[in-house]
Amino acid sequence: MTIQENVPLAPLTTLQVGGAARYFAQAKREDEVRETVDFAKTRQLPLFVLGGGSNLVVADSGWPGLVLRIAIGGITSPSLQGTSGNSVLFSVGAGVSWDEFVAQAVAQNCAGIECLSGIPGSVGGTPVQNVGAYGQEVADTIESVCALDIKENRAVVLPKPACGFRYRSSIFNRIDDTGQLGRYIILQVNYRLKRGGAPSLKYADLQKHFADVKTTPSLAMVREAVRQIRRSKGMLLVPGDEDCRSAGSFFKNPVLSEEQFHDLAARAQSKGLEIPSYPALEAQHKVSAAWLVEHSGFAKGFRLGRAAISKKHALALINTGDAKASDVVQLQETIQNGVRQSWGTLLEPEPVFVGF
Ligand SMILES: Cc1cc2nc3c(=O)[nH]c(=O)nc-3n(C[C@H](O)[C@H](O)[C@H](O)COP(=O)(O)OP(=O)(O)OC[C@H]3O[C@@H](n4cnc5c(N)ncnc54)[C@H](O)[C@@H]3O)c2cc1C
DSSP state, 266?
H
Distance, in Å, from the CA atom of 328 to the CA atom of 17, rounded to the nearest integer, reads 9
**Residue among 248, 253, 249 nearest 346 (CA):** 253
Strand partners, 239: none
CA of 253 to the centre of ligand 1 (A): 17
Distance, in Å, from the CA atom of 60 to the CA atom of 356, rounded to the nearest integer, reads 9
Report yes or no: 116 and 138 within 8 Å, Cβ to Cβ: yes
Q: What is the pLDDT of residues 263-299, one digit of tens each?
A: 999 999 999 999 888 776 666 888 999 999 999 999 9
Q: pLDDT band at residue 212, thresholds of 50, 70 and 90?
A: confident
Q: What is the pLDDT of residues 119-136, one digit of tens each?
A: 999 999 999 999 999 999
SS in 3 state form for 45-57? CCEEEECCCCCEE
Choose the residue to mutate in 29, 47, 55, 142 for probing ligand 1, maximizing ligand atoms within 8 Å of C-beta: 55
Q: What is the pLDDT of residues 292-321, one digit of tens each?
A: 999 999 999 999 999 999 999 999 999 999
Q: pLDDT band at residue 85, thresholds of 50, 70 and 90?
A: low
For 196-342, list the strands marked E by DSSP.
246-249, 255-257, 277-280, 284-287, 303-304, 307-309, 316-319
SS in 3 state form for 58-98? ECCCCEEEEEEEECCCCECCCCCCCEECCEEEEEEECCCEH
- Coil/strand/helix, residue 151: coil
Distance, in Å, from the CA atom of 291 to the CA atom of 114, rounded to the nearest integer, reads 26
For 219-273, list the strands marked E by DSSP.
246-249, 255-257
Can you give the pTM of this predicted structure?
0.94
DSSP state, 166?
B
- Coil/strand/helix, residue 296: coil
Q: pLDDT band at residue 25, thresholds of 50, 70 and 90?
A: very high
Choose the residue to mutate in 14, 47, 54, 114 for probing ligand 1, maximizing ligand atoms within 8 Å of C-beta: 54
Share of the chain above pLDDT 70, in %: 96
Distance, in Å, from the CA atom of 265 to the CA atom of 288, rounded to the nearest integer, reads 12
Catalytic sites, residue numbers? 168, 249, 350
Q: pLDDT band at residue 79, thresholds of 50, 70 and 90?
A: low
Share of the chain above pLDDT 90, in %: 84
CB under 6 Å to ligand 1: residues?
A: 14, 49-56, 70, 94, 119-122, 124-126, 128-129, 131-133, 172, 185-186, 235, 237, 244, 246-248, 352
Distance, in Å, from the CA atom of 316 to the CA atom of 29, rounded to the nearest integer, reads 34
Q: pLDDT band at residue 205, thresholds of 50, 70 and 90?
A: confident
Q: pLDDT band at residue 331, thresholds of 50, 70 and 90?
A: very high
Q: How far apart are the first and last CA of the chain?
A: 28
